[in-house]
Amino acid sequence: MNTKYILAIDGGTQSTKVVIFDTVGNEYCSSTVKLRPMILSDKGKAEHPDDDLWASLKGACKNVLKKFKGDVNDIVGVGLGSIRCCRALVKENGELAAPVQNWMDIRLSRPYEHENDEVKYVTTTTGYLTYRLTGEKKDTRSNYVGPWPIDPDTLDWFVDEEKFNAYTTPREMLFELVDPSTVLGKVTEFASQETGIPVGIPVVATSNDKAVEGLGAGLMDDGTVLVSLGTYITSMMVGDKYDPNTVNYWSNPGAVKDEFLYESNGIRRGMSTVTWVKELLGSDVVNKAEELEISPEAYLNQLAESVPVGCNGLYTILHWLARPNVPHERGIMIGFNGTHKGEHMFRSVLEGIAMTMKNNAQAMCDERGVELSSLVISGGGSNGELFMQIFADVFGVPAHRNVVNGSASMGAAICTALALGIYPSRQEAIQHMVKRRDTFVPNMKNHALYHQINTEVYSQIPSVTDELLRKSHQIFHHPI
């Protein structure tokens, strides 16, 4: 019997990745196409230029199929995942009427406002790409996070006319909603020519990208927390109850029916801060890394391993992108003295990320009444062994990595396997497809020191600096 394959699409903020897996979770090949830099304005707009999401998806599909050594006719399904909290304005013919609004765009904090008569449909990134791939005006109900006229209990459009109309989006502009892990449609002749995916292959609905990532990481309701290291860093848990009145986390639709993803507060532009440090340190780091034949990040990790826990009192507060409701927030590095070098700055960012997420994840666990038992770390940042050890030491629990650590692609594959009946349940699919790579055990001496640093100093810094940053914001944004 021929091996069967799944083509999994993982659309992110900075790139589109396409992976081909078999039905037991082995990765055969992948292709990643970087997205072009977003168009950012001082008025809070953040747009993906031209038709970058579709162009990158086409390029990644063609590239991965060129690498694929198997028979394309043995590809049984396509799992479609893409960025959440975005808005796509689409013409009747499937083309964009305007650039896709990224989740960082201030317009995503309020409902759609009709200003362009070329706009026929208002949808998410998954809805837009579904229309491109299948011609179907359908979308996963689980990617509607934000100001949409959707009932949070039923995950369907509001039936109550008054509630629906409060969101100012005509019903005829919205797509039909389907459950995650169900078939949306089949690849059309047009989409096949554009992507190289064979005609007629089923395209499967996933969920919002974080829920897909949680599924692909094998997240279970057992006290395990997933920390997702992406442009937006967050921590997640899963369960089966929706609660709209939480304080330290919120409930998102899960990647399978009747499941919810619980998500803590996060760090905006999180891993971009690591890139920022690397670029700030300049050509010396790049040149030395080239000489050693390793990446600049790997070289900085080597240097930072020799930096003591706590970086000799150098702390990083990671507000490189302010939240919309607190525009005065700014990133801070505080505690410099003459001993600090580039590697201290690099490690301080890693420690700041870990301590911030410890505080956020712990608040979520405390509110849920659940004991935090272990971590799974996903995303490219988990490739750094130093970062993994810092997480284990800061949290004081084992930190795991999976073989496939870009787990959104694995989650898309699992959704496809469930939709096609390859596995009867979420748990069975995870058992067959998700494989653990290694585990980092906490150094409890380091954990005790991080706990003291975090509780007595790090977590207190924003309360001390906040008023000064408010005054600074007033000076620059409301000058006399």
pLDDT at position 25, please? 96
User: What b/e sequence results for 396-427 when a residue is b if at least 16 CB atoms lie within 10 Å of its CB, and e otherwise?
Assistant: bbbbbbbebbbbbbbbbbbbbbbbbebbeebe
Residue 64: both structure tokens together = 């991965």
Distance CA 6, CA 443 (A): 40
Binned at pLDDT 50, 70 and 90, residue 258 comes out as confident
Strand partners, 75: 5
Mean per-residue pLDDT over the chain, rounded: 94
Binned at pLDDT 50, 70 and 90, residue 1 comes out as low
Distance CA 221, CA 224 (A): 7
Q: Does domain 218-480 have CATH number 3.30.420.40?
A: yes
Contact 408, 10 (CB under 8 A): yes
- Percent of the chain at pLDDT > 70 equals 99
Per DSSP, the residues of 381-416 read GGG-HHHHHHHHHHHTS-EEEESS-SHHHHHHHHHH
pLDDT at position 478, please? 76
Binned at pLDDT 50, 70 and 90, residue 269 comes out as confident
pTM (2 decimals)?
0.86
pLDDT digits (tens, 9 = 90+) for 326-344: 999 999 999 999 999 999 9
Task: Compute the average pLDDT of residues 26-33.
Answer: 96
3-state per-residue secondary structure call for 92-121: CCCCECCCEECCCCHHHHCCCCCCCCCCCE
pLDDT at position 282, please? 86
pLDDT at position 480, please? 59
Contact 226, 376 (CB under 8 A): yes
Distance CA 109, CA 470 (A): 22
pLDDT at position 246, please? 95
pLDDT at position 379, please? 86
pLDDT at position 373, please? 96
Flag the least confident range among 173-182, 268-277, 434-443. Answer: 268-277
Torsion angle of alpha carbons 248, 250, 255, 256, nearest 10°? 110
Strand partners, 315: 334
Task: Compute the average pLDDT of residues 95-121.
Answer: 94
Structure-token match 């090949």, residue found? 29
Torsion angle of alpha carbons 277, 281, 282, 287, nearest 10°? -110
Distance CA 311, CA 334 (A): 11
Distance CA 208, CA 73 (A): 29
Task: Return the CATH class of domain 5-206.
Answer: alpha beta
One-letter amino acid at 97 equals A
Beta strands in 279-421 (DSSP E): 315-317, 332-334, 374-378, 399-402
pLDDT digits (tens, 9 = 90+) for 176-215: 999 999 999 999 999 999 999 999 999 999 999 989 999 9
pLDDT at position 406, please? 78
CA triple 97-103-108, angle to 5 deg: 70
Q: Which of 261, 273, 228, 263 is nearest to 408 (CA)?
A: 228
SS3 assignment, position 47: strand
Distance CA 326, CA 303 (A): 35
Residues in contact with 161: Cβ distance below 8 Å, sequence separation at least 6, in sequence order: none
pLDDT at position 360, please? 98
Residue 479 predicted with pLDDT over 80 = no
Rama region for 8: left / alpha / beta (φ>0; ψ in -120 to 50; rest): beta
pLDDT at position 231, please? 84
Query: Around Cβ 128, how many Cβ atoms within 10 Å?
Result: 27
Structure-token match 């070329």, residue found? 118
Task: Compute the average pLDDT of residues 147-174.
Answer: 93
Residue 287 predicted with pLDDT over 80 = yes
- Percent of the chain at pLDDT > 90 equals 85
Element containing residue 438 per DSSP (H, E): strand 436-440
Residues in contact with 353: Cβ distance below 8 Å, sequence separation at least 6, in sequence order: 229, 233, 267, 270, 273, 274, 318
pLDDT digits (tens, 9 = 90+) for 386-424: 999 999 999 999 999 999 987 899 999 999 999 999 999
**Strand pairing report for 5-11 and 75-81:** parallel
Task: Compute the average pLDDT of residues 230-235.
Answer: 90
One-letter amino acid at 451 equals H
Residue 286 predicted with pLDDT over 80 = yes
pLDDT at position 36, please? 95
* CATH 3.30.420.40 domain position(s) in the chain: 5-206, 218-480
Binned at pLDDT 50, 70 and 90, residue 461 comes out as very high
